[in-house]
Structures are given as structure tokens and as C-alpha cells.
Chain A
Amino acid sequence: MEGGSVSSDEHRENGRGSPFAPHTAAETTAMLDAVGVESEDHLFDIPEEIEFDGSFDIEPRSERAIREEIASMLGRNEDLVEFLGRGHYDHYVPSAVDHLADRSEFLTSYTQYQPEVAQGFLQALFEYQSMLVELTGLEVANCSMYDAATALGEAATLAVRVRATSGDRVLVPEQLHDGRRAVLDSYLAGTDAIVETYPMDDGIVDRDALADAIDEDCVMVYTENPTVRGTIEEGLGAIGELTDDHDALFCLGSDPVALSLLEEPASVGADVVIGDAALGLGAADGMGLGLFATREAFLRQVPGRLVGTGEDSEERRAYTLTLQTREQHIRRERATSNICTNQAWVALRAAMHVAWLGPDGLTDLAKESVTRANEVAERLDAIDGVTAPVHDRHHFREVVARTDREASALKEDLEAEGYAIHAIDDHLVQVCVTETNADRIDDLVAAVEAVA
């Protein structure tokens, strides 16, 4: 322990200290002298009664050992070909995105409180916001929420704020991802708002039923395009008019791939667009990127961070976090949201990914999402004991199929064959296809044939 960098290195290798604290023993001694204390322990002002003198029983390991340990642990995951979607989609991530986003100046930076040294990230987030403005047709996009579910929760609290004087009903489709619904309920726990469902008609909104359900007490109507069942909504313009007539906010859930092809949200009267990026991350066990875009009228009610342009003292265009008086660190309990750390780096990845694809690549991906869904439906329908698609609608990425066998049993048998699909009801399964599993459709079909 006494002095010199050699013993300090040993100290680290022996795991007796933090490998990421660069101090040699001699430096530590000199610094303690400068502070005027005998040992590090004397720096702590903790009453004896609550001092911790136990062990966590966590053995330090070498970097190599940890890589092996985690690889071995995760190796217990079965190697299944996933045909899973329902709000979380595996898209191929180009190598350029991984390598560029991993540059440490991006990866190891913090929120851009000092814009002069953070121009790079600020500009990248400005470009991300701009892409969402293009995709949604709305004027304002923030630079991220955690995921689609939390973005939906924020949309509902925004609706409650902007329509604070009347009404408390939030209407959502009866076919809605469980996680989205549950998070929406959590976000509304602190308000008087209540969430109610409206019926669906063969996979899309039952507009007559929605018209019956909506009234002057309704603060927001949420609908999705594509829906959780992969169907493409057919009456968005009418829903927009209906919500407008009742002065309710129209919140639309989507994703960047779908937005590049399907009806532009602004043109159907959407007031807020939420969603998950579905790009740039892969299937990271549900880790997401919440999109949030809205009309300029609600600019000062937007949750989260916004990047805007300004000028620097050389009169060049520069970027900065702006309108921070909405945010928690200034407005505290009157803030528009409690969000602080967001998904900035994931937003960076999504912007890189969209730019890498370009408009042709992105819209091609969207078109393929339609044709592949059609193809898989057709192939499944040809199997005895399977009918697909269940919904007589257009589809995006995924389809629901009816099975004579119990869906959960079919799903389990398929898993034994190496394929993962959703079982969503007693006799309903759901299958999702993207470019990452499209070349395995033949195999999936053969496996379903074998177990159906």
C-alpha cells in the first residue's frame, strides 16, 4: 500500500479499490495532507450509529471474467427466431449508426447545459426534432420521452392541463397494448382524469361507437395507426373531425417507419403524435425512444427538452436548449413534466438511422412492412387450421391469425421448434415481420404447419 504506481496497480489488480479511481498511493497521501486529514475515513461526516460496516458480498471481478460471466448468463436465453411486435419492433441497425453514436464525445456527455461546448449533440437533436416535424406535419417535437407508453401518459397530462376547466375523460381503444394502458393509468393517478375504452370494429376504430362515447367531458381521444394488431386505420380524418367538434385533443400513436408512408397526422387533425422510434436500437428487451410532437399552440405545455436555434456572438447560427422555464429544474412543481434524463442518445441513433436510410430507404421499409404482412398472412392462411388475416383490413408489419388449436399451446409448441410469436387470445396469435426475420418466413410457415 505504501507509495509508488507499481503498488497502486497491484492494488487495483487485487481488486482492493476502484479500478476507475486513478490515484496512486502517493497521490492519495499528498492529497490527504493538502486537505489536512489523516485518512479517507476522516472525511466522512457520518454518525457512528448509522455507519455501514458490513459487506455486500459482491466479489470484484476482472473485466475479462465479467464479459465471460455475462455472456454465459445471457447464453441461457434460448436462441429463438422472433416474430414478435406489438409496439416493439426489431429493425436492422446499420453499422454506421453503432460506430458513430458510440463516439465517446456523444456517449459520455451530459445534458447540454453549456451549449457552446455541446453544439454537436444539440445540432443532432435539432435534426432529430426536425425529422419528426417532417414525419408528423406538426410544428413542435421534443427531443425524447422514455418510450411510447410514457409519451402517451404525457400527452394525457397535457390534455388535462390545456383543458383544465372542463371534463375528465380520456378515451382509448379497447385493443391497446397492456403496458401502454397501465402507464397511462399511472400518469393520470395524480389527476381527476379517468381512462375509458371505446370499441373497435374488426381491428380499427368503430367510429359510430366512438361518436356515441365522445362528449363534452372528453379531454383526449387516443388512436393508433398502425394499431397494436397491425391494422391500418381507415377513418383518421373522421376521427379528427369528431374530436375537433367536441374540443377534445386528438392523440395519434405511430412510429417513424409508418409515418413515412401512412396518412400525415397533421392532415387528419392530430393534435399530438406519440410513439416509439422502432429504429436505431434493435430488440433491446423493450428499451425504447418515446416520440412526442404537437401543435405550436401547445408549445409552452410541451413536456421534456426542446432544442432551438439562436445566434452566437459571431452571428452564426447555433443551437441551445430553449424554453427551459417549462422544465422541472426551473419550474419545480409547476413544471409541464418531471422528465429530466430522457433518451437523448437513442434519439441521436434514430436520427442517424433515418438519415442513413434517406427518404427512399425509409419509405421502402414502410412499403415492405405492408407487403411482408400481406405475404405472411397469405402463407399462414394456406395452413390447415389457421385463418389469416383475422381482420379484413390493410396491415403494417404484423397480422393476427385465428388458430383451431388453442393459441397458447400453439405458441408453446412453436417455441420448442425455435420460433417466438404472440398468443393474444384463446385462438388468436399475432405474427410480426421486419427485414430482420423476413428470410425466415418459410421456416416459420413450415413450423406452424407441423404444429397447427
Chain B
Amino acid sequence: MKFNQARWTRETPEEGGEVYEPLLVEKSSRAVETDDAPLPDDLTRDGIELPDPAEPELARHYTRLSQMNYGVENGPFPLGSCTMKYNPSFTEDVAALPEAATHPDRSTDSVQGNLELRHKLADSLARIGGMDAVTLQPPAGAAGEFTGILIAKAYHEQNGNDRNEIVVPESAHGTNFASAALAGYEVVSLPSADDGRVDVDALRAAVSDDTAALMLTNPNTLGLFERDIEEIADIVHDAGGLLYYDGANLNALLGRARPGDMGFDVMHYNVHKTFATPHGGGGPGAGPVGVVEELAPYLPTPQVSEIDSDEPDDEEAASDDASYERFEPEHSIGKVHGFAGNWLVLVKTYAYIARLGDPGLRDTSAKAVLNANYLASQIDYDIPFEPFHHEFVASADRDAADVAKRMLDYGVHPPTTKWPEIVDEALMTEPTESESRAALDHLARAFDRAAADDDVTLETAPERTAARRIDQASAARNPRLSWHALDDE
């Protein structure tokens, strides 16, 4: 396969040079005054200047931009820890149903449909995670982490425990550290053992009466399952701490093991990863949080519950007439989103889970793990840690960032580079279940061809993408963050 990304360029008449697709404002811009406003002058601004394209122009602009962008429907996107799988189209249609578009302040009686979907989704997620209660409010995974840590904090405070530390393995996602710090905790970084897993002795030494929680993902970012998880849970629980599960890698475990059964007390789900609700160029996502029964009273408000039927004997009637109400949990931490989270993402999640059902969920993890292992078996790279599940970290013999740039030329998105730092020149690779064998073979060739290319080719790659190698260091030294900043040049 020969890959060439669309590259839209246009001459700049002033300088005789060329630019990629011009900015909208460079095509058509218009300044308007606001002096005819139905308001006193001192309450209004003087005017404003914005792009003013006709719709056909607008359509071409964004179509060209889309062609200069790479998504999962363009090809493999094996970003380790990000779980970029195929996003089925039909979920977009259900989220676009006009009935879904309600205002968040609608009365409980008038949005029974929304509340039913929320309740059923929360219930499914609870069962998938082995949790007792779930909030759908956090609008992203990191927001879920923050929510979970606030829950841990409120729980400890309610129980008269003043704990000020959160333990996080050094291989964890950066968001774990940042979320713990945002909630006011000291972060205790936990080194990995030689086998890439949690060093249980180091953990024992790290936890104390000050430990509020341990944050962990399982499998970890090397794709390794923490086999000592029960012992880890005991160590944390014996010290009076809680065990937090980072759901970033849940795709590897769907239907195989549940965080709740492993001893985790609180977890977040990255529905935009595990349940194929599109990332949309970096969001929106949603980060529902599940908790064990003891922590349910601390969940954000409102929660949704099913109202007990008046006629408990008549099961048929009860399920037909099920109605739902909002409530504030007894020791609620309050809110982490102004309203009730990223609703449309949640509708897509519900649809996706319904499409898969039990067998699909279980097959997801089977094929995700098979694909990672198969891809690893087809490439000529050192993979220092195994046996891995859904992702592996390959070590490039040369600069991983250069290898990644060259892989772009072969029509694939490269893996996550340079992280985790446990592996030299790391390429953290997660193909997901939605890649076919042929796509994986193509990906494997991209790995091996990039590794075999000469230094100059690698250092100047990519050449077939919309733009050539971008100097990110100089962009950071001289930040120009809006088209207004370009005027100064």
C-alpha cells in the first residue's frame, strides 16, 4: 500500500511563497461595528472581526482540513494506553435522536427516558466492573480520577482519618499524579520491580497511616497483568487505604476479570476507549466512576434510582411502568460537572454495550489480546516485558520519535512514543480488537521498514503526510497561539 495524505497548498501572493490550506480569516474576513445595538453604548464593544465565508467556501475549508487529518477510519491507530478502536456509525445516529436533546434542568417527570437510559447504563457498567454503584457525571477519564480521589478523601474525612498521600506507580498515566495533586494530596511515586510490575516490597514500605489510596491500572501500561493484585489490595487495605482502578486498560479485561473482584474500591471507565465512543480529536469523552457499596454515599449529585413499583407482585407491570428519580447521595462530594456530564457520549456508550452484549464484550478482550500478541510476533523489535495482554512496549534501537515519524509514511499512525520510561526508546503499542490480520501485517511491515530505513530518511521523515517534519521546539520557544499573533510578523 502506498500512502499519501492530502496536502492542500496555496500560493501567497504577497511573498510568492506557499502555505498549506489558508486560515479562514485569510480567505475572507469582515469587521463589523456594533453601534446599532439595542443597548447603551457603554455596555457594548466597538466591533468585532471574524471570518465571513459563504457556506460552499466553509464546506471546502473543513473538508480539506479533514483530508489533512488522520482518524481510525483512515487506518490503524495503535496508540498504547489510548485504545483507538473502530467507532461504529450507528451510535452517532442514536445520539442524534431529537428526543435526546433535552435541557439539563428539565423536571424529573418529563425526562423519564433519559433517566432510564442513564440508570440502565450505570447498571451495566457496575456489572462490567464488579462495582456496586456508578456515577456518569465525570466528563473524561481524568475527571473520573479526580472524582474518585475526592470520594476517597470524603470517605476518609467522614471516618475521621486525616490522610495526605496517594501512592502511584511510576509507570502510571500522568493524569493519576495530576488528579491526586489537584485533590490536594502528596504523591508518592512507586518504582516498578524488575519484571515491570508493582514492587510489592516497595509498596509495603510506601504505604502507611498517611496513605489515602493506591492508584493502579491492571494490566499496567506495559500490558502486564499485576498477578499479585490480591496481595497488593491486602497491603493497601490493611493500612486503611483504598484501592483505585484506572480504567484506561479495561479493554484487555472485558468479561475476563473485574476490578471489583480484584479488591478495587473505586474505578473509572474510559467509555471513549473501552466502549468505542469516538474521541473526536481529543474529546469529548466520559469517565463514569464505579464504587463499592461503602463508597456509594459519596458519589456526585444527582444520582438516578429506579422507584420501587407500588405493586411489587406484578413484575410485568413493574418493569413496564418503571420510573426513575434523581437523588443526592447522603455524603455526596457535590459536583464535578456543571450539569450531568457528557450525555451524548453516554448514549453512544449504551448503544455500543447493547450491540456487544456478554459475548461481544468477552470477545473484545480476546481479540484485543490476540492482536497485540500477534503483532508482536510479527515484528523484529526487542519487547522486554511479557507476557502482555492488550498492549506491549517495543524498544527501538534508534530514536523512537524518528521511527514514529517514518511510520507515518507507511500509512499507519505510530504507537505512543517514549513512554513508559521503563523501556528505552519505547513504542507503546495497542492495536485493539478492531484491526484485521491484514491490517496487523501492514502495521508490522511499517514497524520493520521504519527500523531498517537509513538515518537521513528517518531524521527527515515524514514525507508523505500533509505537512513535513514540524519543528516543535521552535514553536514552543516562540508561541504564536492565534491568527492575531501572526499579524505581528
Contacts and interface: CB of A to CB of B under 8 A. Distances in A.
Contact of A312 (B70, B150, B469): B469
Interface stretch (B289-297, B304-312, B450-458, B471-479): B471-479
Given A44-B256, A146-B140, A422-B105, A338 B182 contact: yes
3 nearest interchain CB pairs?
A: A286-B339, A60-B357, A345-B280
Contact of A82 (B20, B106, B174, B257): B106
A110 B484 contact: no
22 contacts: A18-B361, A43-B389, A70-B347, A88-B338, A104-B72, A114-B70, A116-B470, A117-B408, A120-B21, A126-B482, A129-B482, A133-B482, A149-B335, A179-B335, A190-B184, A263-B43, A283-B103, A288-B339, A314-B467, A340-B141, A358-B53, A359-B31
A43 B369 contact: yes
Contacts of B341: 286-287
A74 B364 CA distance: 28
A65 to B, nearest CB: 8
B87 A105 contact: no
Given A73-B113, A82-B106, A262-B45, A17 B50 contact: no
A111 B50 contact: no
B281 A106 contact: yes
B472 A190 contact: no
A134 interface: yes
A377 to B, nearest CB: 13
B281 A110 contact: yes
Contacts of B193: none
A341 B140 contact: yes
Contacts of B476: 308, 322-325
Given A100-B59, A261-B34, A344 B283 contact: yes
B172 to A, nearest CB: 9
Contacts, number: 671
Interface in B398-438: 404-405, 408, 413-414, 416, 419, 433-437
A301 interface: no
B138 to A, nearest CB: 9
B396 interface: no
Given A46-B256, A60-B357, A356-B58, A150 B338 contact: yes
Interface residues of A, number: 191
B109 interface: yes
Given A21-B434, A134-B49, A261-B44, A333 B178 contact: yes
B257 A84 contact: no
A313 B30 contact: no
Nearest to A117: B70
Interface stretch (B89-97, B200-208, B237-245): B89-97
Given A34-B374, A183-B337, A110 B79 contact: yes
A344 B468 contact: no
Contacts of A96: 55, 58-59
Given A120-B69, A130-B482, A316-B9, A60 B360 contact: yes
A212 interface: no
Task: Pick the most buried of A133, A288, A323, A366: most chain B CB atoms within 10 A of its CB.
Answer: A288
B99 interface: yes
A75 B98 CA distance: 9
A267 interface: yes
B27 to A, nearest CB: 10
Nearest to A432: B103
Interface stretch (A49-57, A164-172, A399-407): A49-57
B225 A45 contact: yes
Interface string A177-191: 101101101110111
Contact of B284 (A55, A87, A100, A345): A345
Task: Pick the most buried of B48, B342, B367: most chain A CB atoms within 10 A of its CB.
Answer: B48
Given A50-B229, A311-B470, A338 B480 contact: no
B97 A342 contact: no
A12 to B, nearest CB: 9
A87 B230 CA distance: 46
B100 A189 contact: no
